[in-house]
Amino acid sequence: MADISLKNPPIAKKVPQRLEMHGDVRIDNYFWMNNREDEEVINHLKAENAYCDEMMAHTKGFQNDLFEEMKGRIKEDDSSVPYKYNGYWYITKFEKGKDYPIYTRKKETLEADEELLFDCNVMAKGEAYFKLVGISISPDNKKVSFGLDLTGRRNYTIYVKDLTTDKLESDKIEHTTGSSSWANDNHTLFYTKKDEQTLRSYQIYRHKLGQNKDELVFEEADDTFGVAVYKSKSRKYIIIACYSTLTNEYHILNAETPDENFKNFSPRVRGLEYSIAHYNGDFYVMTNKDKAVNFKLMKTSETNTNIDNWVDVIVHREDTLIENIDIFKDYLVVSERTNGLNLIRIMRWDGSEDFYLPFDSETYTCYTSTNVDFNTEVLRYGYNSMTTPASVMEFNMRTKAQKVLKEQEVLGGKFDKENYTEERLWATADDGTKIPMSVVYRKGLKKDGKNPLLQYSYGSYGSTVDPYFSTIRLTLLDRGFIYVIAHIRGGEYLGRNWYEHGKLLKKKNTFTDFIACSKHLIHLGYTSAEHLYAMGGSAGGLLMGAIINKAPGLYNGIIAAVPFVDVVTTMLDDSIPLTTGEYDEWGNPNEKHYYEYIKSYSPYDNIEAKNYPNMLVSAGLNDSQVQYWEPAKWVAKLRELKTDANKLYLKTNMDAGHGGASGRFESLREDAEEFAFLLDLEGICS
């Protein structure tokens, strides 16, 4: 039984578990925590929560002040910019004092009567966790399918609602991804089933309304792949997507004939990545075919989709990554990235025009947003930067007229973008590579090494954290913090090779890049080791674990949110959700060379008897992506071995999963707790 005295941290019992692989033996004293049904495990997590609450009790009033401050910047009675689809304008709105969205629509014009689709505040009553996803309207606009998760484990049940009667149909489909796609007969739904244990998306079913027995139409046999099903923007095809980290395959079916069999778009080829979009008798294929590392655009006839028939539309460029395409009746819009910056390219199908939207900031984020209408000349896109609130823009691709549809309001009366400075800095990594950082702080700051600085990164899966605006972040900036996003290898900020050099047997570049950024910031006088803090979540939590093992003296404090830290054990357990699909990212430790490399950096396996920074670690009991026992075991082992008296807290959300609390304001309480932890370390209490 864990020690539940609040005067001392909980000390977990040690039950040595021998783990052997490739002749190598690891002893895991906390393996026993891998059982969420064990009362002793639950009691230990509760004891950790009680200890964290007690040790941070002196900040509770401050946390509440921070919460109210952050909440006060948010426009509570807010609504999205309406978008039109199949004759209706769709709107998402929030009402004052309520945590969850309300979904409505209006027929043909915005002056029409409002029709309520879902009030999630009513639906969420009595639930500790609530998440509604996958809203899909039938082609005749009379029915809607949707998915509900009431645990935070991302295991959804699909329901169907009759919009003419506002009543639920009898249909109830469990263990799904929550999303579904309608065939054009308004009676047939295709959806994705999850494995009940691993939660891998692996089967596609055909469901007829009102019927209990659904037909399996596709099953993915390779457990390193997942599957999804969706409808093409042209509304002509139902598409099954098979995906792994490095390989894609698609199957297509005419939405007018839902009872027929799906056709293989092109047989899968290991290492061939691509996505497809349908337009005017052709499929457009964004792919890395022919060693197009940064991807190129090809096309093929819808009647001859095999790879042998693909022809180039936009050739591969060494300096430009193609990230996405949006297809319209008269225009092709290409989302690109050059030197880390987003670009939006607009091309007429008839070849008469080809131009880029102009952006002149040093560091910013732009992206195409909700563009579901095929027959329009208007492009929706979003724009923001670290000092500029998010805007939804509308650009007429024919007339070049542009207008702001909505600009994020920052309430409270104190925000003025002119009070802040944003810039891009470049550090030099151990191998000489230049690593970019996006930086923001209040003007007038002195670079004397005394400023508190929070450095954030993710650095995995090719996921890029662009420089974005955050009202929550203002809470730190206005108290003297500098905020830095380190664009380290493992993401795709500088193109696909940036990702390739931060994965598998080059994963350690991710960690050394982050440390190089920290050292550069100290060298330039932005901060010092006494005032430097780092933060990351999930795979970014792995980053946190790795940097404190390698350079613990460089940081005064660490926030590790749902950290992936027991990499070897997790990657050897193919019963855990997502494991098999991760082999292309981390390597398969069933192979000795990957086992040895992963073990050499796995945070849990490399804890030593030495000083570590102050740390706040979070977990979610129902987390399906990073199991709760990883952070729990990590903290227990740190408590056992660390030689300092620094703070080490574990906070487990007993009602949620990977994303934390589900309500828009409840999640702010988690932010307030994290910020109070940092500010308290700096002696800032108001």
> Is 547 strand, coil or helix?
helix
Catalytic one of 44, 207, 316, 658: 658
Mapped to the 3 state alphabet, what secondary structure does 293-307 carry?
A: CCCEEEEEECCCCCH
Q: Residue 563: exposed, middle, or buried by beta-carbon count in 10 A (0-12, 13-18, 19+)?
A: buried
Non-local CB neighbours of 46 within 8 Å, separated by 6+ positions? 4, 654
Sign of CA dihedral 536, 539, 541, 542: negative
Identify the bridge partners of residue 167 per DSSP, sorted by sequence position.
162
Structure tokens at 81: 């910019």
In whole angstroms, how large is the CA radius of gyration of the chain?
25
The active-site residue, picked from 623, 624, 671, 680, is 623
Can you tell me the distance from the alpha carbon of 380 to that of 392, in angstroms, rounded to the nearest whole number?
7
β-strand 482-486 against 453-456: which pairing, if any? Answer: parallel
Helices 592-601 and 508-523 cross at an angle (nearest 10°) of 30
Q: What is the separation, in whole angstroms, between the first and last Cα of the chain?
A: 38
In angstroms, rounded to a whole number, what is the distance separating the alpha carbons of residues 50 and 456?
Answer: 28
Pair 96, 117: CB distance under 8 Å = no
SS3 state at 631 = helix
How far apart CA 462 and CA 459 sit, in angstroms, is 7
176-180 LR contacts (CB < 8 Å, sep 24+): 176/147, 177/134, 177/147, 177/201, 177/228, 178/133, 178/134, 178/146, 178/147, 178/148, 178/149, 179/133, 179/134, 179/136, 179/147, 179/228, 179/229, 179/230, 180/134, 180/136, 180/145, 180/147, 180/207, 180/229
Question: Which residue out of 179, 538, 602, 662 is catalytically annotated?
Answer: 538
Torsion of CA 171, 174, 178, 183, to 10 degrees: -40
Quote the Cα angle for 106-109-115, to 5°: 10
Active-site annotation holds for 658? yes
Catalytically annotated residues? 538, 623, 658
